[in-house]
Structure 1
Amino acid sequence: MKKLLLILSAALALAACKDENPVFTISTEELKFDANGGEQKVFISTNRDWTAQVPQTDTWYTVSALSGTSDTEVTVTVEPYEDATPRTSTLTFDTALGLRSFKITQNGPVPPEQPESSALKVRGKGGRVAFPAVQGYVYEVGETPEWISVAETRKDSVVLQLDTNRTDAYRTADVVLKTTAGAELEKVSLEQSWRNIEPGEVLIEEVFFTSNALPTTGKPDKFHGDQYFKITNNSDELLYLDGLMISEAKYPSSTKTPFEFLDPIKKEACGVGTVYVIPGGGHDVPVEPGKSLIIANNAQNHLATNPNSFDLSGADFEWYDKSTSSSNQDVDNPDVPNLDIWFTYSLSIWVLHDRGFKGYIISMPPYGVTKESYLAGYKWEGKYINHSLAGDFEMSISKAYKIPNTWVLDGVNTAIEEDFQYTSWDESIDAGWTHCGKIDKDPERYGKSVLRKRGNDGKLTDTNNSTNDFTPDSTPSLKKIGRLVKNR
């Protein structure tokens, strides 16, 4: 009997509940989130069944309960957001009273008061260049000049495609990252060089101009075939040295009859008597960081005829001249590539000044400069006064060309103290000078070179002052290594 009464009571209670008016209320009309997202709670008060409907496209938030039969606490979890434009969604409930809903709104991140800034330097060759993108935002790349295009945008970086700079000047642009609403997030100040190698990245490490004396005569042979340059990549990157110019000063720095130029060019250009060029199309002569090229007068095994000399048959390049003098013919090693000759004052063979009276530079011309355009546009003409022992004479500059100082990557002045008059190059290139021997025709100079010093970090020293940077009267580096290995 008691059991029957309990069942009857429950049935009556249920019937009474169903007779109550349906109720469904939501504790808020809108939930607002910032860019970080997070959780917020909504309270549902009801006495009927309900279900929640989340739009299929709104996957950026989740709801802890999608249905219920009574009062329920619902947790809404929103993901972080990086776009500047606010996003909204409507969470709809199907109830006995029909459809009910509330809004979920999330704002984007607040732009920084002070946008990030950085600088980026790019070589003249252009190509793909990447830089880090500001984090925490959906960004767009602002307008760029024609020579820059956006190759790829990633969450953490931007990849640009730069055209080759075919001018003779640096060019700059600001690459700006903005929010989708236009607020500035980051600015990268980009500078593109007009060349692929900057001054100081490739250096003249050594010049061996004295030659080695023969044991039989105490003097070198007249061709000085074992002279060489050692050109070194002093940067931390792989560099391509094809197109590199190697030049000797037109006029000596040590002389008993000094020259006075009526229209000096030293502040703007170097006056040279030779222009020899490493051949290639721009990517044919790679040199790893810290590695060097040996460029020889004659790439021969000079030990075969002079036990005081060295084997240069493994040199990277040699300079070979087609002499017009039958008694002064050059020797060619067919296994070693020759430098291209753009200009030389000599009708026979070019020999480095074996007493060290002339300076040397290495330089890189702008894109598009050819042998023909160079010879047509950079001839050095003018007058100078030769203050000779017999009197002062006005002379014409001949068989000479100019190399703009802006093209020069490195230079070294050589001289002897006894007759030193002036340096070959402007102080911006080399403010000092170095030497082999102390007097003119010093017999002690043979078998010695000028060799650049190294710092504690192992890098070559470069202060644009050869007095500080070079060791004069040095033992040639090739005396220490035996047979040459290319691109050592």
Structure 2
Amino acid sequence: MKRNQLFRLAALGLLVSTMAVTSCQKDVISLEAVDQTEALAKANLKTYNLNFSLSPKLAGKELLGARAIFKNTATGETFTVNAQSTTSLTTELPEGSYEAEISGYIKQNVKGKEKNTRVSAIQKVGPSFRSAANSAALLTLSANPFADLKIEEIYFPGSGTSIRDQFFKITNTAAVNVDPSGLVIMEGSFLNTTQRVYTPSIIDTAFAINAIWQIGDNADPIPRNNGYISLVNQAQDHSGGLDLSGADFEWYSPGAGNDLDNPQVANLEIIFSYTPAIWVLHNRGFRSYAIGYLGTTKADFLQNYKYGPTYPRPGDTAGTNPMVVVNTYAFPNSWIADGVNLSPTGNWEWNTLYNTIDAGYTGINADNGRFGKSVKRKKVGNILQDTNNSTNDFTYGGSTAVAP
């Protein structure tokens, strides 16, 4: 499986020591992961302490890769801080009130396979919350097992000579390897460039999607600290475009006569697609995309999560003959791990992901200059920036895409 080759975690009081992860088909890369609080201004900093432990049901397990993400409830700023031990964390932050998500991993046997399973807890942290005597937050099994996976890059325009060399790069920000088995990738049904009044409106509880694909069981773990996987349209060497023949996964449509299958690359499973032809990302970037987990069975999802809203038909002032949306499902927001709204600035009208998932948008101008470019997430040091606002987290305009 294609991977970044060497991931090295610097000391700086982090929970784990320097470690190398190697694999094939890539040059060796050295990444130094540093605590984001290092970059904070020294003025007006206050000390915050967090104490935590595994819940009684998880007694006897070892907590791995503990950290906390502090989100300032007034400004929305986030700070990722690695724990100094398996029970406590101390850091200096600009004075304010925070919501801190404490998380880590334990090893569990799942379907006969040992894997790292995410645990987490939420703790409100105010300016007076500085005493180590505060009661410990109890970490329980996380509802979203893929919360530490981020969409780092989306190559939606294609090379121009081929539309089939599109890809997603999904990156693991955790301090442990994460098994992506069961991860889903999905596309929004509604255009971010055309705002309509959909009835009923579900945006605050669910994401309206028209395509959803899933990674199967027994996938190789994604290496810790910026290891990644690539999900591609066609895992081929595209003439005049990118060589994606070494991708990790491809979305292959067996019912489409002109799709090509690379037998050396694992296929994503189709949960649902609005088209029997090849699923192609909107090549001007008018839609939103998200990753997450399917919180029910495929059969139950297809049966019980259908979404068929209506919207006013142009010219129908009486509203007696509305348009009906088809081939759409409601994917609960609570199942989403990460999402990105896409739109060219000149065409944007609204965001179709709820603002707690993505409060902004990113994109590339919808002219021929977009071909060969992708949108990429920014980094703070070597930590992917994630403020749940793509306007801040991605560089608008894109940059040259390189095969992952």
Shorter-normalised TM-score: what interval? Answer: 0.5 to 0.7
Tell me the residue number matched to 1:378. 305
Distance 1:294 1:320, change over 3 A: same
Tell me the residue number matched to 1:129. 61
CA distance in 2, matches of 1:334, 1:423: 37
Tell me the residue number matched to 1:291. 227
CA contact (8 A) 1:259 1:386 kept: no
Tell me the residue number matched to 2:216. 279
**3-state SS, counterpart of residue 444 of structure 1:** helix
1:204 lines up with 2:151 in the alignment: yes
CA contact (8 A) 1:454 1:460 kept: yes
Q: CA deviation at 1:247?
A: 0.3
Gaps of 5+ in 2: 1-49, 64-105, 111-118, 122-132
Tell me the residue number matched to 2:341. 413
Q: CA deviation at 1:284?
A: 4.4
User: 1:229-250 CA deviation, whole Å, 9 max, x = no partner?
Assistant: 0000012121111101100001
Tell me the residue number matched to 1:454. 379
CA contact (8 A) 1:260 1:386 kept: no
Q: CA deviation at 1:432?
A: 0.4
Distance 1:370 1:453, change over 3 A: same
Q: 1:404 aligns with which of 310, 318, 332?
A: 332
Tell me the residue number matched to 2:88. none
Q: Mapping of 1:151-230 within 5 angstroms?
A: 189-195=137-143, 197=145, 199=147, 201-214=148-161, 221=162, 224-230=163-169
CA contact (8 A) 1:241 1:287 kept: no
CA contact (8 A) 1:423 1:433 kept: yes
CA distance in 2, matches of 1:415, 1:294: 22
Q: 1:354 aligns with which of 269, 280, 283?
A: 283
1:445 lines up with 2:370 in the alignment: yes
Distance 1:243 1:228, change over 3 A: same
CA distance in 2, matches of 1:310, 1:321: 20
Q: CA deviation at 1:198?
A: 5.2
Q: Residue type of the partner of 1:382?
A: P
CA contact (8 A) 1:320 1:331 kept: yes
**3-state SS, counterpart of residue 356 of structure 1:** coil
CA contact (8 A) 2:155 2:166 kept: yes
1:313 lines up with 2:241 in the alignment: no
User: Greater RCO between the two (CA within 8 Å, min separation 6)?
Assistant: 2
TM-score normalised to structure 1 length? 0.55
CA distance in 1, matches of 2:346, 2:246: 37
CA RMSD, 1 decimal: 3.1
CA contact (8 A) 2:222 2:228 kept: no
CA distance in 2, matches of 1:162, 1:231: 23
Distance 1:162 1:311, change over 3 A: closer
Distance 1:301 1:162, change over 3 A: closer
Q: Residue type of the partner of 1:403?
A: F
CA contact (8 A) 1:247 1:274 kept: yes
Distance 1:130 1:227, change over 3 A: closer
**3-state SS, counterpart of residue 372 of structure 1:** helix
CA contact (8 A) 2:182 2:215 kept: yes
Q: Residue type of the partner of 1:360?
A: Y
User: 1:369-400 CA deviation, whole Å, 9 max, x = no partner?
Assistant: 22112212211123222547999761112101
Q: CA deviation at 1:186?
A: 11
Q: 2:236 aligns with which of 300, 305, 312?
A: 300
CA distance in 2, matches of 1:361, 1:411: 4
Q: CA deviation at 1:121?
A: 5.5
User: 1:92-146 CA deviation, whole Å, 9 max, x = no partner?
Assistant: xxxxxxxxxxxxxxxxxxxxxxxxx942367x9x695247xxxxxxxxxxxxxxx
Which aligned runs of 4 or more in structure 1 are off by greater than 4 angstroms?
160-164, 185-189, 386-393
How many residues are treated as equivalent by the alignment? 292
Greater CA deviation, 187-196 or 462-471?
187-196
Distance 1:193 1:213, change over 3 A: same
CA distance in 2, matches of 1:162, 1:311: 37
Distance 1:162 1:434, change over 3 A: closer
CA distance in 2, matches of 1:387, 1:453: 40
Q: CA deviation at 1:322?
A: 2.3
CA distance in 2, matches of 1:432, 1:474: 16
Tell me the residue number matched to 1:176. none
Q: Mapping of 1:91-170 within 5 angstroms?
A: 118-120=51-53, 128-130=60-62
Distance 1:364 1:121, change over 3 A: farther
Tell me the residue number matched to 2:254. 322
Q: 1:343 aligns with which of 272, 276, 281?
A: 272
TM-score normalised to structure 2 length? 0.65
CA contact (8 A) 2:363 2:398 kept: no
**Structure of higher CA gyration radius:** 1
Q: CA deviation at 1:189?
A: 4.4
CA distance in 2, matches of 1:120, 1:272: 38
CA distance in 2, matches of 1:127, 1:385: 56
Greater CA deviation, 185-194 or 205-214?
185-194
CA distance in 2, matches of 1:253, 1:186: 45
Tell me the residue number matched to 2:76. none
